[in-house]
Structure 1
Amino acid sequence: MAEENQFFRPVRDFCQRSVMTCRADDPLVSAVAIMRERNISSMVVLEDGRPHGIFTDRDLRNKVVAPGRSPVELKVGDVMHSPLATIGEDDVLYEALYRMSRLKIHRLVVVDDAGALSGIITDTDILRLQAHSPHQLVLDIEKAGSIDDLRTLHSRIQALVLHLSGTGIPIRDMVKLIANLNDQVLIRLIALLRADKYADLTDDFAFVVMGSEGRGEQTLSTDQDNAIIYADTLGADEIARLEAFSHELIEALISIGVPPCPGGIMAKNPPWRRSLSGWKMELNRWLSTPTPDNVMTGSMFMDLRALYGRSDLVRALKEHAFATLSEDQGFLMRMAQNMTNFLPPLGWFGKVKLEKSGPHRGRLDIKKAGIFAITDGVKALAIEAHALDGTTHDRIEALTAAGVIKPEDAKNLLASFDFLVMTRLRGHVEALRAGETPTNYVSIDMLNVMQQGELRLALEQVAKFQGFIKHHFRLHLLRN
């Protein structure tokens, strides 16, 4: 196994199982004595037998020694850190790395499926694995000092994915890796711009990403879909500075190597930079008038995720959308209808139909063939169920738990989705290796006989899912 592949193994394989614990009402001096005796730097605090908080030597320095408090009078609960940052023992190691990086912490408590303490993992545990890895790439992004540095790192992300492709890493983990690394680059870029030219920029805004980036499902060929939501309280000067910042940010992204959106869905353009109330009005227009264009735009927008800034603005906008759609399902029905228009290209005896002419003759548009139908069908169900967070995987799992999708159907749908996305990624990788620009078109020739059979089964599953969507949303009631 390649060294990098270790980062896609479960946390259970690397975490420390021997964890010292205490209770919140234990005397602080007793806990410190145990830490000194065992030569450890932290203790997990349990409540009713479950992890509740953590106490570290840093807490002792910052919360007791520095302010001159008397440790004799304190309990562990007075200085512990809570709520606790945890990770499941079946999550992959890279997810632990990403979570520590985003939270700016050095350890995570590992829990099992029931939420019970399973172990602990630290950034030191991960660093021991190797220096040249996804972990090192994250550290280099965090230390990047210029746009030129980020341009180089963006290229390294593509090189890493090319290296890892075809190694058996689950596609769900691969797209999460790509999304996480791209998130880190964008967040670092914003920090650099603010430090260099926009120290006076307001904090009352959110930079959001949408579409596949919003779902955290990026492959190598993903252009920009982003926007800015700002507070209604901003003054004219603050809005003007935010406009200037958005232009420079998007141009910097393009210079790094992130393609611009052909449709102009970028924060530098006025329609994609609005106040919260302005976005609510625009959302109302899309949802109340479900024309084909409004359905496509509104559907993409509903994947929005706050990448930087005030996440509460995004939550407020989603809650507004949920409330509006609860009163009138017309938009959801049109959205569902739109996904059923993308029929899987299956002919007689299950033969896959390919492009008959043009520059992509003999190829298959894998996105239109099935990926779009699954993501948008699942999205429509998730909007209705108010379970819109996360990836398509996360949404299917939430819908299954809510009884909307049967477990067996969910299993088949996930398998089909993963195969189609993996095929798309393989197509991107083959294009890059050939010096071509990646597209959604794939050659059937790159699939062996077994994989071609899997493709037919996946497309058949898409057709079955479309039938379910038609029945669920009662699309027969719609007038064309």
Structure 2
Amino acid sequence: MAGENEFFRPIREIEQRRVVSCSADDALVDIVGRMREMSISCVVVVDGAHPTAILTDRDLRNKVIAAGRDPAGLRVRDVMSAPVITIGEDDVLYEALYRMSRHGIHRLVVVDRKGALAGIVTVTDLLRLQAHSPHQLVLDIEKAESIDALRELHQRIQQLIVHLAGTGIAIRDTVKLIANLNDQVLIRLIDLLRRDRYPDLTTDFAFVVMGSEGRGEQTLSTDQDNAILYADSVQGEALARLEAFSNELIDALISIGVPPCPGGIMARNPAWRRSLTAWKRELTQWLSTPTPDNVMTGSMFMDLRPLYGRRELADTLREHALHYMSHEQGFLVRMAQNMVNFAPPLGWFGRIKVEKSGERRGEVDLKKAGIFAITDGIKALAMEARRLDGSTHDRMEALVEAGVLKAEQVADLRAAFDFLVRMRLRGQVEALRGGRTPGNYIALDQLNAMQQGELRLALEGVASFQAFIQQHFKLQLLRN
């Protein structure tokens, strides 16, 4: 377990702080000479204190030597790789591993909270840590050669999370780990399908994930919420191949062990596989006609995150929605109203209400009790403020920076959110250990007196946040 916890240490504990930097306008031969003298394989290119690019020995081999160029007349900007991939000092080591793997690189430039150069971390630094870790799992995913291998790896992800539960790792890091590992499996699956079955597949599309997966907040009970956006130019045989690929991809995901979406929100469904223009029309329909179904669907869709393919397609679609809502807030108001309708299960004197009958008797649905209200309330504020990137945590921090929420308000809300998510994950782990399907419930009698007190405080925090949302969006003026 100690080896697994190593990967949740902050980057600052392992980064190399002695980093050589240069300007983009420096003569290439001068910088190469410094690299040779210091026996280093890279130099960070900075503009003032902020890193903008990186120059590596690979750049020199591929862009100068292999290309037969004369280095005497070159500047660093002629050869460097930009933009540089960075990571914050407070991010955890596993996040560094994920970014290296995602971008196919062997080092990351580390920046401080102001974005200034702080250090560098390499894959060698990570490999010094114990091999039995999430790092090894990622390496195994990258080397997987079949759907059967990915199925086994998906099971190992579940087993890893079960082992990590209760180790003291922050819930924010745990859910990010789950999302990152699931991302890796899905990306590898797409790569295998394209290599073995669809080498002719168009590149003018984006596979996007939504909901909790889009926010990077998955737990053990998450089913599929995904879609495909493709360029308007994709037609005829290219479109037919994309349709066939979508069907095989979702079928393969299900076979691996990722449950299908009960509502059919999957890329194999034609309603969730459209051209950019068609998606714009559909999204405008949801936003202009905020029926309860459209509000739920539109809210989930706004978490979209491009996982594979052309990111700009997803960015264009999101910008289209945000532009519409900047002129017409009806959808946001109805979304806020829906969030307020999920009242926390608190009775007289703060008594926590539980299910009275059925197989869930004595249990609390933590998603309905507060997780949904927090994620959707924060999302509504973030949509209004155009600060929609990242997780619920990221959005909270962005809303403080934008002056929408106060720091102390977010501190309380974050504590409530983390406690509810941690209890949900605990319930899911216990369900898996008991051979049951994980869900959103936890039995109240499984919590000790202190935990029940924390749950009560969390639910009271949700109620307070709902009151804020009601006032912020002036829901008291809304006619049903």
TM-score range, shorter chain: over 0.9
Q: State the distance in 2 between where 1:270 and 1:21 align.
A: 50
Closer/same/farther in 2, CA of residues 50 and 265 from structure 1, 3 Å limit: closer
Q: CA RMSD in A?
A: 1.3
**TM superposition shift of 1:36:** 2.1
Deviation, 1:34, is 2.5
Aligned-pair CA distance for 1:19: 1.7
Correspondence for 1:224: 224
Give 1:314 shift.
0.9
Within-5 A mapping of 1:209-248: 209-248=209-248
Matched residue, 2:294: 294
Which residue number corresponds to residue 90 of structure 1?
90
Deviates more, 1:18-27 or 1:37-46: 18-27
Q: Distance in 1 between matches of 2:166 and 2:204?
A: 43
Q: 5+ unaligned residues in a row in structure 2: which ranges?
A: none
Report the Cα distance in structure 2 between the residues aligned to 1:217 and 1:168, rounded to whole angstroms: 18
CA deviations on 1:82-116 (whole Å, 9 max, x unpaired) are 22211111111111111111111111111111222
The alignment partner of 1:382 has SS state of helix
Q: 1:147 to 1:23 in 2, by over 3 A?
A: same
Equivalences for 1:279-358 in 2 at 5 Å?
A: 279-358=279-358
2:157 corresponds in structure 1 to 157
* Corresponding residue of 1:117: 117
Which amino acid is 1:244 matched to?
A
* Cα distance in 1, alignment partners of residues 454 and 267 from structure 2: 40
Cα offset for 1:263? 1.0
1:50 positional shift: 3.3
Q: Secondary structure at the match of 1:207?
A: strand
Deviation for aligned residue 1:43 = 1.7
2:161 aligned partner, one-letter code = V
Q: 1:12 offset after TM fit, Å?
A: 0.6
Deviation string, structure 1 residues 185-236 (Cα, Å, up to 9, x no partner): 0011011111111111111111111111111100011000111111111212
1:271 counterpart residue number = 271
CA distance in 1 between counterparts of 2:240 and 2:61 reads 43
Q: 226-235 vs 75-84, which deviates more?
A: 75-84
Instruction: After TM superposition, give the deviation of residue 172 of structure 1 in Å.
Output: 0.6
Paired residue total? 480
Match of residue 3 from structure 2:
3
Q: Deviations over 1:415-444 (max 9, x none)?
A: 110110111111111110111110111112
Give the aligned residue type for 1:388.
L
Q: In the alignment, which residue of structure 2 is the partner of 1:28? A: 28
* Per-residue deviation, 1:306: 0.9
Partner of 2:40: 40
TM superposition shift of 1:356:
0.4
Question: Could you tell me whether the CA contact under 8 Å between 2:362 and 2:445 is conserved in 1?
Answer: no
Which residue does 1:17 correspond to in 2? 17
User: Structure 1 stretch 102-111 or stretch 44-53: which is displaced more?
Assistant: 44-53
Q: Which residue of 1 aligns with 2:140?
A: 140
- Aligned partner of 1:366 in structure 2 is 366
Q: Once the 2 structures are TM-superposed, how far is the Cα of residue 47 of structure 1 from its aligned partner?
A: 2.8
Distance 1:47 1:243 in 2: 45
Aligned to 1:201: 201
The percent identity for this pair of structures is 72
Q: Which residue of 2 aligns with 1:451?
A: 451
Distance (whole Å) between structure 2 residues aligned to residue 30 and residue 214 of structure 1: 45
In structure 1, how many angstroms separate the alpha carbons of the residues matched to 2:50 and 2:307? 31
After TM superposition, give the deviation of residue 287 of structure 1 in Å.
1.3
Q: Distance in 2 between matches of 1:478 and 1:415?
A: 31
User: Which letter does structure 2 place at the counterpart of 1:293?
Assistant: D
* Residues in 2 aligned to 1:7 and 1:350: alpha-carbon distance in whole angstroms: 39
Deviation at 1:445, TM superposition (A): 2.6
> 1:173 is aligned with what amino acid?
D
CA separation in 1, counterparts of 2:246 and 2:271?
A: 12
2:398 maps to: 398
TM-score under structure 2 length normalisation: 0.98
Residue 413 of structure 1 and its aligned partner are, at CA, apart by: 0.6
